[in-house]
Amino acid sequence: MDVGLLGQFVVNGMMLGMMYALVAVGFTLFFGVLDVIKFSHGDVLMVGTFAGFSTYLGMTAIGIDNAFIQLIGVLVISIGSMAILGAVIARYLVLPLKSAPPLNTLLVTLMLGTVLREAIRLFYPDGSNPKHFPALLPTDSWSLGSFTLRSDSVILLVGGLLVIVGVNMLINRTRLGLAIRAVAQDEETAKCMGINFKMIVLLTFALGSGVAAFAGVMNGLYYNEINFGMGLLLGVIGFSAAIVGGLGNIYGAILGGFLFAGLQTLGAVALPFASAYKDVFAFAVVIAIIAWRPTGLIAEKTSERV
Amino acid sequence: MAQQQETVLTFRGLTRRFGGVIALNKFDMELTNGQILGLIGPNGSGKTTSFNVLTGIYEANGGSIEFLGQDITSWPAQKVYEAGVARTFQRSRLCLELSIFDNIMIGNHKRLNQGLLFNIFQRKALKEQIQENHEEARKLLKIFDPALAEKMFDPVGSLRMIDRRRIEICRALISHPRLLLLDEPSAGMTHEETRELMDDILEVREMIDGLSIILVEHEMGMIERVTDKCIVLNFGQKICEGAYRDVASDKLVQEAYLGGE
Amino acid sequence: MTQSLKDKLVIILLAAVIAAFSITFIAIEEQVEIFALLVFAAALVLGGAKLGITASIAQSLARNERLMNFAFIAATIAVVFWFREDHFPLLMIATVLLYVIACCGLNIQFGFTGVVNFAGAAFFGVGCYTAAVLGDTSVPLLLVILLGGIIAAIVGSVLIIPVLRTRGHYAAVVTIAFGLLFRTFLEVNDTLGGPQGLGVSGMNLFGWDFNNNIEISENLEISFYMNYVVLALIMVILTFVLMRRIERSWIGLNFDAVRLDETAAACFGIDIKRWKIVAFTLGNFLAGTAGALYAMMLGFIAPSNFAFSDSLILVSIVLLGGMGSLWGTILAAGLVVLLPEKLQVIQEYRFLIYAVVMILILLFRPQGILPRGLRAYIPGWRG
């Protein structure tokens, strides 16, 4: 195969992997503190992207057209508003169902995802059609033979990496992270130690949702197109990635995200006669991995008390 | 009780580890027909673990279990039950949204016809089986509490703790097991209730021929009153064995409980 | 008046009211009238519950199960007969009936046994595609319906190993991934028509063509959908009997034990794997048979009919009705299928409203609208 094309596949695969990992990290954080799956995560990402897009439109309308300032504005508004939305969802939908069967939480958040999706489709101006997301990053490119590397791709990859490293540091090196891990470990004990359980849950949901908003903006900047349905598949893939990696473990989420992207890329490269089957291939492998390691590649360290 | 001294259950060097923790360390034990064995020791000493290994919930990491002359060490839980071992759980594990009758019938699994075709197409024979088993369950429950026996179709979730314990024990006894494992039956009950419950269990033992019982219990009064023999575990190891009176006065045992050096 | 006579009158009256309500609801077109009718019905149900009438009706029903079953079948026939000449109402009724069958399948899976399945629409779809592919061959079409179920069960067996080895969310992902895989596969597979889908031949039973209107006389021409409604109703009754017999037997007890506490169930000899396999296979079989007839009735199928959101609709019906509750499933299937069709005003907003309603139900009435009661092995017998 042509080196340039192969390089393109690799960059594309890494970009997808980064986005999946960012989404999966959210799933794994939520599962860590509350043992629940918040399925609306993908749609929160989508809403975040639209919030960022609206910010861009707003800034352009009032005459701010410096791309860098616009980018900062888009990121701040998008991440900030989704952090608030995430906390609100946790407060009013997830926490009230804490003692209900896990399936109920899954369903409530699935339905919430539908609400968000439909709300954008119906109430965002011309929301049912795809929107052109602006290229706010410099697009210089370096050529190496037939392979072209664009600077915006590099910036996005580095940015994604920084966010993942940042979240990891936050969880492992800060007092807030310590509290999150304590709650994940044992809710009752954490409460006894004076940790404000509810506050930690809300902050965790805010953090995870903010990360998802970042992934959404990243998606918009990379593909330059957003639509109301983009969150569903990203959410499902992020969920699968978190599961395949092993719920409750950040490294598992990252591993799962890149693994899924790798599978899709491999499917596209290795099945040239049927590259359309790349998603079929990726999902089939996911099912096989779960059959092989029923609690994920990096297994959960819990055992049931009898 | 010593008509026949047939051995029912034997542990030889039974070992179970959880990661680095040795929950059960080379445990040797023997239980004869009709015997009531008290298993005591501090929390985390391996009492419940030995039940879980015996009933096939956990695999043994070493040693063997022999039940009625068969090596059952690696048998799955289902097969151990079929062979005649029934148990209760430390934290009650009844199905709260099911009726009393349903819960007891779960324990009767091996004596009910589980065939797909029988259950779907032979309604008449099935009805007879249901009615027969209902009668039997009612009789058994009556020994524990006559009032309860009249509420067979009430949900278990609506009952008091002591009634739930009774039902759990009936669920274990309905299949006429050879060995009954009771995991802290007195937990969450008053002194009086505990005494009452134990009397009922002894009464049932008279009815089931050659039923042996292993009792895990913190309530020493109960251990003293009903057991023929006691084994004390500490950190997964057997530290003492004998009649309750002898065991209670043993120095090692007192240290284990009081945390002496 | 004796108790039993009173019971019987109550049941017959109830069935008549339900039939009248259904006919009115399906027949009226004015949005205001439909809203008024819904508000009226809601007030009736809530008021009845407040005054204890609902509870006493429920007791009357429980005492006379056989009569109740026949009364409700009669009510359904009355509704169907009322609309004998109208295509659209009959199509809707048949759709409700087929959804009931598919949701009964899901009920066996996670209502009874706790095996989650978020790919219900995929197994329904396997049935549809079976009908599309076999429809033109010489295989008798009644057999095709059966084959739709069997092939759905066989396709499902691919998932048995992951489903048996996983629990909770991990099991959910297995079926979600399969549902997406199935749809993507259909979209890219040209032999199965790709995104455009396939045409399906209509049902034909011993030379009786289901797709022709039935001309009784010059001024009475019964809609051809009547054929499908009748066949679907027969299938629903068979499914219902099967479900009841399963629930009221040791099988139903084993299913419940597996759902509620696997460890305890295993300690009492219950073969967890066996019952999960039985439940999963049987559930997919039912969904497949419903799909096969559905495809024949519509005459055309495409991958977009089997999206994740369609699987969600099936799951919501089960949850809305109450897990494992048969009558609940029937009522919920009726509401979920008919409401969006009737409320044209909300047509555009229907998914939104529907999702909001589901959230409210999960928050405030998680047990569903008609929760399943305790198992009555033999109706009316309490020892």
Nearest to C257 among B89, B106, B134 (CB): B106
Fold of A3-123+146-292: ABC transporter involved in vitamin B12 uptake, BtuC (1.10.3470)
Nearest to B127 among C270, C378, C383 (CB): C378
> Which of C82, C111, C138 is at the close of a domain?
C82
Please choose, from the candidates C234, C230, C233, C239, the residue with its C-alpha nearest in 3D space to the C-alpha of residue C208. Answer: C230
Q: What percent of chain C has pLDDT over 70?
A: 98
**Which chain C residues have a beta carbon less than 8 Å from that of A295?**
166, 170
Residue C295: alpha-carbon gap to chain centroid: 16
Helices A230-245 & A250-270 angle (0-180, nearest 10): 110
Mean pLDDT, rounded, of chain B? 89
Nearest to A115 among C173, C348, C352 (CB): C352
Name the H helices within B89-181: 100-107, 116-121, 123-144, 146-149, 161-173
CB-based contact A103 C188, cutoff 8 Å: no
Give how far C339 is from chain A: nearest CA, Å. 17
Q: How far apart are CA B240 and CA B242, in angstroms?
A: 7
User: Using one digit for the tens of pLDDT, what is the confidence trace for B80-129?
Assistant: 999 999 999 988 899 999 999 999 999 999 999 999 999 999 999 999 99
Residue C297 and residue C314 share a domain: yes
Q: How far apart are CA A6 and CA A273, in angstroms?
A: 16
Residue C77 and residue C33 share a domain: yes
Residue C344 and residue C240 share a domain: yes
Where along chain A do its domains lie? Answer: 3-123+146-292
Task: Give whole-number Cα distances, C109 to A101, B8, C155, in Å.
Answer: 16, 40, 16
> pLDDT band at residue A306, thresholds of 50, 70 and 90?
low
Q: What single string gives the DSSP state of each residue in C94-128? A: HHHHHHHHHHHHHIIIIIIS----S-HHHHHHHHH
Q: Is the pTM here over 0.80, yes or no?
A: yes
Residue C120 and residue C72 share a domain: no
Q: Residue B206, class by beta-carbon neighbours within 10 Å (0-12 exposed, 13-18 middle, 19+ buried)? A: exposed
Helices A175-185 & A151-173 angle (0-180, nearest 10): 70
Residues in chain C with pLDDT values less than 50: none
| Chain A: residue whose CA lies nearest to C314 | A107
CATH number of the domain residue C173 falls in: 1.10.3470
Residue C220 lies in a domain: yes
- Tally A–C CB contacts below 8 A: 122
User: Using one digit for the tens of pLDDT, what is the confidence trace for A196-254?
Assistant: 888 889 999 999 999 999 999 999 998 888 999 888 889 989 998 998 888 878 888 99
Residue C245 lies in a domain: yes
Contact indicator for C120, C314 with CB cutoff of 8 Å: yes
Number of domains in chain C: 2
**Which chain B residues have a beta carbon less than 8 Å from that of A306?**
48, 52, 57, 89-90
Spatial CB neighbours of B219, under 8 Å, sequence gap ≥ 6? B186, B194
Q: How far apart are CA A290 and CA A300, in angstroms?
A: 13
pLDDT at residue B2, rounded to an integer: 46
Provide the domain limits for residue C17.
Answer: 1-82
* Count of beta carbons in the 10 Å neighbourhood of residue C16: 14
Structure tokens at B184: 């802290």
| Chain C: residue whose CA lies nearest to A93 | C363
Task: Give whole-number Cα distances, B154 to B15, B137, B149, C63, C247, in Å.
Answer: 42, 14, 10, 17, 17
Backbone torsions φ then ψ of B233, nearest 5 degrees: -110, 145
Residue C11 and residue C154 share a domain: no
Please choose, from the candidates B199, C169, B81, the residue with its C-alpha nearest in 3D space to the C-alpha of residue A104. Answer: C169
Is domain B1-84+178-261 annotated with CATH 3.40.50.300?
yes
Contact indicator for B228, B34 with CB cutoff of 8 Å: no
* Count of beta carbons in the 10 Å neighbourhood of residue A34: 24
> pLDDT band at residue A304, thresholds of 50, 70 and 90?
low
Query: Any idea which of B180-189, B252-261, C25-34, C277-286 has the lowest mean pLDDT?
Result: B252-261
Question: B55 in contact with A at a CB cutoff of 8 Å?
Answer: no
Chains that touch C (3 or more CB pairs under 8 A): A, B
- Bridge pairing between strands A141-144 and B62-67: unpaired
Residue C126 and residue C13 share a domain: no
**Which chain A residues have a beta carbon less than 8 Å from that of C165?**
290-291, 294
Residue C288 lies in a domain: yes
Residue C382 lies in a domain: no
Chain C interface with B: residues with Cβ < 8 Å: 242, 245-246, 249-251, 253-254, 256-257, 260-261, 263-271, 278, 374-378, 382-383
Question: Looking at chain A from residue 77 to 96, which residues have their Cβ under 8 Å from any Cβ of chain C?
Answer: 93, 96
Name the H helices within chain A: 3-34, 41-61, 67-89, 102-123, 151-173, 175-185, 187-192, 197-223, 230-245, 250-270, 278-292
Sign of the alpha-carbon dihedral angle for A24, A25, A30, A35: positive
Give how far C250 is from chain B: nearest CA, Å. 7
> pLDDT band at residue A1, thresholds of 50, 70 and 90?
low
> Which of C82, C97, C132 is at the close of a domain?
C82
Structure tokens at C373: 């009661």
pLDDT at residue C1, rounded to an integer: 63
Rounded to 5°, angle at Cα B5 from B3 and B9: 135
Residue C129 and residue C23 share a domain: no
Residue C215 and residue C258 share a domain: yes
pLDDT (average), residues A272-276: 64
Residue C271 and residue C174 share a domain: yes
What is the complex's ipTM, to 2 decimals?
0.91
CB-based contact A283 C316, cutoff 8 Å: no
Please choose, from the candidates A55, A163, A36, A57, the residue with its C-alpha nearest in 3D space to the C-alpha of residue A112. Answer: A36
User: Using one digit for the tens of pLDDT, what is the confidence trace for B16-61?
Assistant: 998 888 899 999 999 999 899 999 988 888 899 999 999 999 999 9
Residue C62 and residue C140 share a domain: no
